[in-house]
Chain A
Amino acid sequence: MLQISALHSHYGLSHVIQGIDIEAAPGEVIGIFGRNGVGKTTLLKTIAGWVKPSQGAIRLGGEALDGLTPDRICHAGVGFVPEDRRIFPGLTVEENLSLGLLQVKGRSSRDEKRVVEGIYDRFHRLGERRHQLGTTLSGGEQQMLAMARVMVGKPRLVLIDEPSEGLAPMIVAEIFAIVRELREQGAIILLVEQNIHEALSVADRFHVVERGQIVFSGEAENAGDRERLLKLIAV
């Protein structure tokens, strides 16, 4: 269970997240939508601990995450796939993946190997390029690696920021297939996405953010809610 309540955060004096409440249960995909600059990325960064919340609470399975450092938040079961993927350019594909393994403590190296082999079976292109540096991957491959890197840690909550940005439609479909897999593993997913159509195909519910606040919440299946969403997002 994820419970975010009355969350606020700042960049210096600028008040970006202005009181956000979100609840989600395991296996739920929550879409976070909104125009440019409303604070979607900042919301994810605040949950991940990159930006310290100035007020409010974040709880995952009863454990308080607010105020913890990003590595503690990771170990509490939060995986983060940030915008721009943030693949380490000086690390190989395999080394990038091996860092994801750190999220789970006390796994034997045989188990770890099995998990990584599973990823290579699932993503052939990563397997073929396992010894190449992260920088040599295409945008789509980097996005897959960023998602796979989080997958190997078996997170309970996954934060994904605009995974389809700059990718060809075929790759986008693959990326959303991965989101579905994560959901099937029972993770809670907060998905920030500009590609509303694709996002609604995986999301159960969604929130629309404006100036750091949720102004509308709806169900992905509900036609009325979808219409309202498109109106709010339209520029």
Chain B
Amino acid sequence: MTAIDYLQFVLAPQVVNGLALGVAVVLVALGLTIIFGMLDVINMSHGEFYAIGAYAALALAAAGVGFWFLLVLVPVLMIPLGMAAERLLIRPVFGSKDRHVTTLLVTFGLGLIVEDVLKIIFGANTQRPPTPIPGASEMFGIILPNYRLFLILVGAAIVLGVAYVVYRTRLGAMVRAAAFDRNMAASLGVPVSLVYAGTFAFGVGLAGLAGVLLAPIYSVFPTMGRDFILLAFTVVIVGGMGSIWGAVVAGLLLTQVQALASLVISPVWTDPIVFGTMVAFLVFRPQGLFGRLGHA
């Protein structure tokens, strides 16, 4: 195999697959990091919201709803769910002293319940929705699956859209202000309770959207959130807890490391490399790559 062949048939597809996974992880990590940056809550049920999104897409597709409509419908349906979770589980314990531990445990419990409910309703079997965009395209002699290309584009658009709202609009200024100093923001007229609930629900909606988008690639099963959330947590820690750009950069970098490492060493080593990076960051640079939402 020549160097060009290697580039064309091994390296490039691997980079693109890594990119698709990277975008997927970023979508999940984005909700996680926004919720943390805003509410200081580590949402342990985030992976299960991702699973709910995937199952909702599956069920609605079976009922005849088309994929394109699902991309809008599922996140919109997830928002009231997120609002309810925030109102019923987070807000009641938000004022307490040990709310970090309490919210972590409460959301962890919620995640376990959701897993079981999904199992009861849909069964434990793995299901795989058909690829919404079949086929592949050739670019520069590299053959790439269409759906993965689509995922990369949609993911990039979502990340840019979220960043635009957060960093360029008055609503985003309200969100950053409330994330930094709740009381001061409120005293200027920011409806902080609503902003908190809205942020949580928005993060949940993003997880649901990720579920819809990723189901055709990574399959659907009740514990699907678990594997994914580990990687997402790593991304959030490396990028900086509560940092949007941190999640993006760390998500893309770590998945590339994973993808490329598996070309040169046994794939069993990719997890130790990724999670080793996380541990190294926790020890040597616990604040992560980038600063937290609302902080300079």
A50-B189 contact, Cβ under 8 Å, with A88-B177, A90-B295, A133-B296: no
Is there an interface contact between B184 and A91, defined as CB atoms closer than 8 Å?
no
Alpha-carbon separation in the docked complex, A78 to B188 (Å): 9
Output the least CB separation between A117 and chain B (Å).
17
Is there an interface contact between B187 and A88, defined as CB atoms closer than 8 Å?
no
Interchain CB contact (< 8 A) of A98 among B170, B193, B295: B170
Interchain CB contact (< 8 A) of A100 among B180, B181, B188: B188
Interface residues on A, range: 20 to 34
Alpha-carbon separation in the docked complex, A78 to B193 (Å): 19
> Which residues from A are CB-within-8-Å of B186?
49, 69-71, 74
Is there an interface contact between B294 and A71, defined as CB atoms closer than 8 Å?
no
Q: Which of A55-97 contact B (CB under 8 A)?
A: 69-71, 73-75, 78-80, 82, 86, 88-91, 95
Is there an interface contact between A99 and B190, defined as CB atoms closer than 8 Å?
yes
Is there an interface contact between B188 and A102, defined as CB atoms closer than 8 Å?
yes
> Which residues from A are CB-within-8-Å of B185?
88, 99
> Which residues from B are CB-within-8-Å of A99?
173-174, 177, 185, 188-190
> Which residues from A are CB-within-8-Å of B189?
71, 74-75, 99-100, 102-103, 153
Alpha-carbon separation in the docked complex, A2 to B295 (Å): 36
Is there an interface contact between A71 and B170, defined as CB atoms closer than 8 Å?
no
Residue B219 interfacial (CB < 8 Å): no
Q: Which of B168-202 contact A (CB under 8 A)?
A: 170, 173-174, 176-177, 180-181, 183-193
> Which residues from B are CB-within-8-Å of A71?
186-187, 189-192
Is there an interface contact between A73 and B181, defined as CB atoms closer than 8 Å?
no
Measured CB to CB, the nearest residue on chain A to B177 is A88
Alpha-carbon separation in the docked complex, A75 to B295 (Å): 26
Alpha-carbon separation in the docked complex, A48 to B190 (Å): 14
> Which residues from B are CB-within-8-Å of A134?
296
Residue A149 interfacial (CB < 8 Å): yes
> Which residues from A are CB-within-8-Å of B296?
89-90, 133-135
Output the least CB separation between B145 and chain A (Å).
39
Alpha-carbon separation in the docked complex, A80 to B190 (Å): 13
Is there an interface contact between B193 and A69, defined as CB atoms closer than 8 Å?
yes
Alpha-carbon separation in the docked complex, A120 to B192 (Å): 28
Output the least CB separation between A119 and chain B (Å).
14
> Which residues from B are CB-within-8-Å of A98?
170, 173
Is there an interface contact between B184 and A88, defined as CB atoms closer than 8 Å?
yes
> Which residues from A are CB-within-8-Å of B181?
86, 88
Bitwise, B143-169 to A at CB < 8 A (1) or not (0) is: 000000000000000000000000000
Measured CB to CB, the nearest residue on chain B to A74 is B189
Measured CB to CB, the nearest residue on chain B to A146 is B184
Instruction: Please name the 3 residue pairs, one residue from A and one from B, whose CB atoms are nearest each other, closest first.
Output: A102-B189, A70-B186, A89-B296
* Apart from A50-B187, A86-B181, 13 more pairs, CB < 8 Å: A50-B183, A70-B187, A71-B186, A80-B187, A88-B177, A88-B181, A88-B294, A89-B296, A99-B173, A100-B189, A102-B174, A102-B190, A149-B188
Q: Which residues of A contact B (CB under 8 A)?
A: 48-50, 69-71, 73-75, 78-80, 82, 86, 88-91, 95, 98-100, 102-103, 133-135, 149, 153
Q: Which residues of B contact A (CB under 8 A)?
A: 170, 173-174, 176-177, 180-181, 183-193, 291, 293-296
11 contacts between A and B (CB under 8 A): A70-B187, A71-B186, A71-B189, A73-B187, A74-B187, A86-B184, A89-B296, A91-B173, A95-B170, A100-B189, A103-B189
